[in-house]
Structure 1
Amino acid sequence: MLDFHTLAEFSRANCVSICAFLVPANLLATVLTIILTALHRPLHQIWQAAGFASIFALIMVMHVYSWFAIGVVMLPTYILLWLAITCLLANLIAILWRRRFVNTPSLSNNA
C-alpha cells in the first residue's frame, strides 16, 4: 500500500536532489515537445513527448504541495510551482497547436 506521509517525508528530506533532477528534466522535456511541434512531427510523437514531459511537471507539483502541506510558503516553492505549471501549459498548447494545424491545408497545396 502506498503511504503518502512517508512519500511526502522522502520528498522533503531529499528536496535538493529531487529539484536538481526535476528542474532540468522539466525544461528539456518541454523544449523537446516544442521542437517536435515546430518541426511538424506526427501528432502521436508530440503526444508522447508531452506526456513524458507532463509526468515530470506533475511530480514537481506534488513535490511542491508536500511543502505546502506542512506550511512552508517561500519564494522557491512558488517559483517551482510556476515552472511546473508553465511546462504543463506549454505541453498542452503544443498538442492543441499541432492538432489545429494537422487539419489545416497548407498554402503550397493550393497553388
Structure 2
Amino acid sequence: MIDFNTLAEISRANCSGICAFLIPANILATSLTIILTVINRPTIQVWQAAGFASMFAFVMVLHVYTWFMIGVVMLPTFILLALAITCLVTNLAAMIWRLNFLQFVYPWKLNR
C-alpha cells in the first residue's frame, strides 16, 4: 500500500532537485506543445505532447500541495503553482484549439 505521508516527506526533502527538474521540464514540454500546434502537426502528435507536458505540470501541482499541507505559504509556492496551472491551461487550450481548427478547416477529414 502507498503511504502518502512518506511520499510527501520525500517530495519536501528533495525540493530543490524536484524543482530543478520540473521547472525546465514544464517550460520545454509546454513549448513543444505550442510549437507543434503552431506548425500544424497532426492532432495525435499535439495530444501526445500535451499529455506528456500535462504530467509534468500535474506532478508540480502535487509537489506544491505537499508544502501547503504543512502550512508553507510563501511566494515561491505560489509562483510554482501559477507556473503549473499556466502549463496545464496552455496544454488544454492547445488541444481544444487544434480540434476546433480541424473542424473549421477540414470538416470532412475529421476522424472521431
Task: Tell me the TM-score range normalised by the shorter chain.
Answer: over 0.9
Which residue does 2:81 correspond to in 1? 81
User: What TM-score does the superposition give when structure 2 sets the normalisation length?
Assistant: 0.93
Once the two structures are superposed, what CA deviation does each residue of 1:5-60 show, in whole Å capped at 9, x if it has no partner?
Answer: 00000000000000000000000000000000001111111110000000000000
User: 1:99 is matched with which residue?
Assistant: 99
SS at match of 1:88: helix
Residues paired across the two proteins, number: 106
Structure 2 gap ranges (5+)? 107-112
Aligned-residue identity in percent: 68
| 1:16-95 equivalence runs, <5 A | 16-95=16-95
- Residue type of the alignment partner of 2:96: L
Structure-1 separation of matches of 2:86 and 2:65: 16
Residue in structure 2 matched with residue 109 of structure 1 by the alignment: none
- CA RMSD of superposed structures (Å): 0.8
TM-score (norm 1): 0.93
Question: What is the distance in 2 between the residues matched to 1:75 and 1:18?
Answer: 17
Q: Which runs of 4+ in 1 moved over 4 A?
A: none
* Aligned twin of 2:110: none
Give the drift of 1:103. Answer: 1.5
